[in-house]
Amino acid sequence: MNIFSIIMLIFLIGCSIAVSATKNLLGAVIVFMAYSLVMAILWQQLNAPDLAITEAAVGAGITTLLFVLALRRIRGEK
């Protein structure tokens, strides 16, 4: 495991702690998107590019979009 992967892993742990510690909901969603993107890079480093594409498309794209829409619904905005 090279240095780049270790840095990414540390960043991943920091992201996952920040998601649960953040009070602002929209900020938590955006940090979660960053977590997913770092996870995609890590899958690529672990020789699983198939999973990396799926993670980048679903985790960083669709899930974040649905979270933001759910936040909008919670706040009652139209």
> What residues line the site for another protein (CB under 8 A)?
49-50, 52-54, 57-58, 61-62, 65-66, 69-70, 73
Distance from C-alpha of 75 to C-alpha of 6, rounded to nearest angstrom? 39
31 versus 52: smaller Cβ distance to another protein: 52
Please, what sign has the CA dihedral across residues 51, 53, 57, 60? positive
Least separation in angstroms between residue 64's CB and another protein is 11
Distance from C-alpha of 54 to C-alpha of 19, rounded to nearest angstrom? 22
17 versus 62: smaller Cβ distance to another protein: 62
